[in-house]
A and B are shown apart, each in its own frame.
Chain A
Amino acid sequence: MATTSVLGGSIRRREDPALIQGMGTYVDDLAPVGTLHIGFVRSPFARAKINSIDTTAAAEAPGVFAVYTHEDVAHLGELLAQVVIAKARPLLANGQVNHVGEAVAMVVAESTYQARDAADLVDVDYEPLKPVVDLKEAASDSQLVHDDLESNTIITWEAGPWGDEEGIAQTKETIAAAKERDDTVTVSIEAVNQRLIPVAIEPRAVLAEWMPGYSRFRVHSTTQIPHALMGAIAKTFGLDTNQVHVIAPEVGGGFGAKLNIYNDEILTCFAAQKLGRPVKWTETRREAPNSTIQGRGWVATATVTGTKDGEILGYELDALADMGAYEQNFTAAIPFLGLFVGSGQYKFPTHWKVDCVLTNTMTTDAYRGAGRPEAAYYIERVIDAFAREIGVDPVEVRKKNFFEKFDSGVTSPIGFEIDTGDYSTNLDKLVEVADYEALKAERDKAREEGRYVGIGVSAYCEVCGFAPTALSELGFSWSTYGLPAGFYGTSLVRVNPDVTVTVVTGTGPSGQGHQTTWSQVVSDRLGIPPERVRVMHGDTEDSPMGIGTFGSRSLAVDGSATFLAAERVADKARDIAAHLLEASADDIELDSEGGHVTGSPDSSVPWSDIAAAAYLPHRLGESELEGGLESHVIFDPPNATWPFGSHLAMVEVDPDTGNVEILRYITADDCGNVINPMIVAGQVHGGVVQGIGQAMYEEAIYDEDGNLLTGSLLDYPIPAAGDMPMFELSRTTTPTFCNSMGAKGIGEAGTIGSAQTIVNAVVDALAPLGVKHVDMPLRPKRVWAAIQEARG
């Protein structure tokens, strides 16, 4: 790939001037004249029959315009979701509630305060029923979440390899035979990968306006997937998609929580249409855990069988995954995403089985990593345990079982085609950057002094930008929302008459820096400086049919579409320049000034003349060129991209309190070619900290009655500045061949690589005591309890 200095440079973000001055526009900042506000009445019970709802007092409260219950919205059907296997969510509870916080009624009032006041006056007569909250209990079907289903288990994902029953049977036999051998060791751990609350700092919000004169909705939403929302609203209200205009302005963090279609989005539209006024709903932090999806929620047994010198002969995962009470966008598909990387970077036979189980809790869905952190956690934890058991360095065990370097695809034991990988080189880089041997010496010295210092290492394999569109048969599309659009990338690049560039992309970013990165990509192809490029996104009216921002897909897929579109525009600009200079297009070079004939410095035409010719087509004379200087590309990659990496943490445990301190955190990530190292570093920092949050602090805890005990930031601690170390980052570069830039994806990698790194480190610190596993989060109480148990 020919690149300019623009590509690969850490240029400052184009997004920032507005944001650092408080002048970015987020949904809740908008308040058209006459905006009404919603307050939801939510269930205090995890499972209850609704005998009656009395809305009289609420309807009469000051400022109230309307109070709605299920009957009012029944004609709209259930909430649409891309993958529904057994149970979709009702828009408002239909005679029964199935999790705490489920929306039961909706009040619309003049102010947010009045809406809350009136919501408190809605009198709901509940008849509590026995809920099932515990995942294992739910899996036993001793109590059903929904009486009309036969089982709480709605689907089982099994692989080894995927989609091949014969292969699965063979893999199981192979692993069973390995276990029988005398020279093998089998190590199992049962571990919880706990439920998490995403906590984007911006709560979700939606503002809907119905324009009866035009029969159109204009909807602002904090969404990562504006086009999918457009489709869902159109389908729900029986409109054409071009009657629905969805705008995602600045979005204050998503992490998968905003990769969904929510009942509140539909209900806000309903109220706006019904009342003829703009209607807004802004989530409060206290309702968020039960109005926005949660993530993870697995219990699994991971087993490794291998020889005493570290050759692994088989890996098995037997898991339960908590779906919550209803399915939303991708709910039951999330464990399937884990399947993609279920065998990590390794070549040994792998058998995976995950049961997707309903419980009386909030829906789970994509949270940063979505299935892949769970996959990485189990395989990397159990390999660590295995290494410890056989007394071989965990780095060595990993390297022994990696795929060798490959650059034209390899089939994973799970049955997926991985593009490129060079795992040993990457792990070697980590070992070198960290000075692993010196760290081990430091740890051993600390141990001699009676301190509990440990080192944890993890490798990970990630998959980004689910593609090609042929995967739509597995549900990777927005078909349920009335849009048979697979997960391609899309971009429109236009050089305007004044030699500025407008890029319209199909992504819906929430902090990833697309304006900056896409500007760099375009500038690299055209020569026009990044500051003259404006990138638009998140608006369904202005943009091509986009897919959104999730699954670390944007650069590899939509960014690649931008690259290709810019290249086509550059080709056309060269054609025009050639025409104007009476030269051959093959001899034209573009730079910031314009087009030049290679080797003839005097033979140049400025960009202004190229653009003018494009928009005054008569100047194109008798050439066959058409007017305009733009290109729209839909890019369907041949495969997803598969980044990878390895992380190392050094921790110290205070044995008296169980408190864990992170002393060092070192990464070696490989996301292929990098457009903006600064932005990549930022993604790694943030991703790692979300993984550390899971490892050390975060846990959505429900009591047996299904009450969420961790419903505010008071009792759901996310990492704060004082808790985190500085990070030491490094990279290796293994480009993909799946797109022109060789770029893979980095948004989720940090999260996928980090949780088990921390747990491995803490287990290493406590290894002298005989501790073999501690479940996340590693709150002091749990670490201390593990120490006590080991000490007997």
Chain B
Amino acid sequence: MYPRPFDYVAPTSLEEAFGALGDDAKVMSGGMSLIPLMKMRLFSPGVVVDIGRIDGLDGVEDIGDHIEIGALVRHATTASNELVKANAAALAAAAALTGDVQVRNRGTTCGALAHADVAADQPAGALACGAVMIAQSSSGTREIPASEFFVDSLTSALNPDEILTSIRVPKTGPGEGSAYDKLGRRGGHSDYAVAGAAAWIKKSNGSIEDARVGVTGVGTKPALATGVAEALIGTDGSDEAVKAASEKAVDDITVLEDLYGSEEYKTHLAKVYVARAVKQALAAI
């Protein structure tokens, strides 16, 4: 309940923020993941760099063929913003199912992605929507595809000197749709995902031309189920085809047992939710 002491820096520009970063520093946006860890003294950074006062990071922008979601965009905004809903429906749906009202009012999409929790919702959405992470540091800007961003449990591809300043998501074009669904730890949709899946599907002439499926909750990290996507492509998206493809849900994932399920159960659930997400994505086209 009582965090250890730390130095607090609240830069008003990114340059200032880069200057404050270091080995013992931690970037904070909404603080929804960081502060509980600090309160439980499971993590005690020497310096907290609060980027909450930097101007220009709190918008959802239309930047041509992409939309850009800034570092300070809250889950509540991601869930309800019309640009996000139209162009990254899976991410918006995942944001709507993140935490609770108070968490969504304060936590940020970029913060949740950078935290890289194995059971968080939005990483699946980011993976399926083909998001690109914009990581900035004093030495420049890196664009990291979502597929390379989630490295391990609570570990992203960000370097200690980098800040995830925004994500870019390609706009949804004709014949495309995406969706997210999960089983929460409390059953239904509540709480962290026991298993969750986001799917993005592109259909043309009655068959699936392209697909991306992100899976969360079941393994060491949120990950793309590339086998599912490959199996879907070229099919008509029938229930049978979806079911067959969903069998590959965890081909690229190391499934881990936890309090909420055995390896067998979580493997099964991943398939169930992959199928559900794919069907919902198809229906959303």
Contact = CB atoms under 8 A, between A and B. Distances in A.
Given A286-B1, A701-B259, A717 B191 contact: yes
A116 B2 CA distance: 7
Contacts of B189: 722
B260 A657 contact: no
Contacts of B4: 117
A697 B194 CA distance: 14
A403 to B, nearest CB: 38
Contacts of A780: 183, 187, 194, 260-261
B53 interface: no
Given A657-B269, A779-B260, A781-B261, A717 B186 contact: yes
Interface size class of B (residues with CB under 8 A): 20 to 34
Interface in A397-432: none
Given A117-B4, A286-B40, A781 B187 contact: no
B186 A723 contact: yes
Nearest to B271: A656
A284 B39 CA distance: 10
A120 interface: yes
Nearest to B189: A722
Interface in A106-123: 112-113, 115-117, 120
Interface string B238-273: 000000000000000000000111100100110010
A120 B260 CA distance: 31
Contacts of A19: none
Contacts of B191: 717
A657 B2 contact: no
A500 interface: no
Contact of B1 (A112, A120, A661, A785): A112
A210 to B, nearest CB: 26
B185 interface: yes
A452 interface: no
B75 to A, nearest CB: 17
A781 B190 contact: no
B186 A785 contact: no
A697 B272 contact: no
A779 B265 CA distance: 12
Contact of A784 (B41, B188, B190, B268): B268
Nearest to A718: B186
Contacts of A717: 185-186, 191
B186 A660 contact: no
Interface string A756-792: 0000000000000000000000011100110000000
Interface in B197-255: none
Given A780-B183, A780-B194, A723 B188 contact: yes
A112 B2 contact: yes
A659 B188 contact: yes
Contacts of B3: 113
B190 A723 contact: yes
Interface in A615-674: 656-661
B104 to A, nearest CB: 14
A720 B262 contact: no
A477 B259 CA distance: 41
A704 interface: no
Contacts, number: 64
A112 B39 CA distance: 12
A286 B37 CA distance: 12
Contact of A659 (B5, B187, B259, B268): B187
Interface string A693-706: 00011000100000
Interface string A5-26: 0000000000000000000000
A62 to B, nearest CB: 10
B190 A722 contact: yes
A401 B1 CA distance: 53
Interface string B1-39: 111110000000000000000000000000000000000
Q: Which of B186, B189, B194, B261 has the most CB of A within 10 A?
A: B186
Contact of A696 (B40, B187, B262): B187
A117 to B, nearest CB: 7
A194 to B, nearest CB: 13
A658 B261 CA distance: 11
Interface in A256-304: 284-286
A582 interface: no
A785 B260 CA distance: 12
Contact of A661 (B41, B188, B268): B188
B268 A284 contact: no
B188 A781 contact: no
A85 interface: no
Contact of A284 (B1, B5, B190, B261): B1
A697 B191 CA distance: 12
Contact of A781 (B1, B2, B262, B272): B262
Contacts of A785: 262, 265
Contacts of B186: 697, 717, 720, 722-723
Interface in A681-723: 696-697, 701, 709-710, 712, 715, 717, 720, 722-723
Contact of B272 (A112, A657, A661, A701): A657
Given A113-B2, A781-B265, A709 B190 contact: no
Contacts of A723: 186-188, 190
Given A113-B2, A659-B183, A723-B190, A715 B259 contact: yes
Q: Which of B2, B5, B262, B268 has the most CB of A within 10 A?
A: B2
Interface in A135-187: none
Interface in B149-176: none
A583 B231 CA distance: 98
Contact of A722 (B1, B5, B188, B259): B188
Contacts of B187: 659-661, 696-697, 723, 779-780
B22 to A, nearest CB: 23
A120 B190 CA distance: 35
B255 to A, nearest CB: 13
Interface string A47-61: 000000000000000
Contact of A120 (B41, B185, B194, B262): B41
A297 to B, nearest CB: 18
Nearest to A784: B265
Nearest to A285: B1
A142 to B, nearest CB: 27
Contacts of A709: 259
Q: Which of A657, A661, A779 has the most CB of B within 10 A?
A: A657
A785 B186 CA distance: 17
A785 B2 CA distance: 40
Nearest to A712: B40
Nearest to B190: A722
Q: Which of B183, B187, B194 has the most CB of A within 10 A?
A: B187
Contacts of A656: 272
Interface string A119-136: 010000000000000000
A27 B268 CA distance: 48
Contacts of A661: 187-188
A657 B183 contact: yes
A84 B5 CA distance: 43
A116 B1 CA distance: 9
Contact of B260 (A113, A286, A781): A781
A38 B272 CA distance: 49
Q: Which of B41, B183, B272 has the most CB of A within 10 A?
A: B183
22 contacts: A112-B1, A115-B2, A116-B2, A285-B1, A657-B183, A659-B183, A659-B187, A661-B187, A661-B188, A696-B187, A701-B259, A710-B259, A715-B259, A720-B190, A779-B187, A779-B260, A780-B187, A780-B194, A780-B261, A781-B260, A781-B265, A785-B265
The 4 closest A-B pairs by CB, nearest first: A116-B2, A781-B261, A284-B1, A113-B2
Interface of B: 1-5, 40-41, 183, 185-191, 194, 259-262, 265, 268-269, 272
Given A115-B2, A659-B187, 7 more contacts: A659-B188, A661-B188, A717-B185, A779-B187, A781-B265, A784-B265, A785-B265
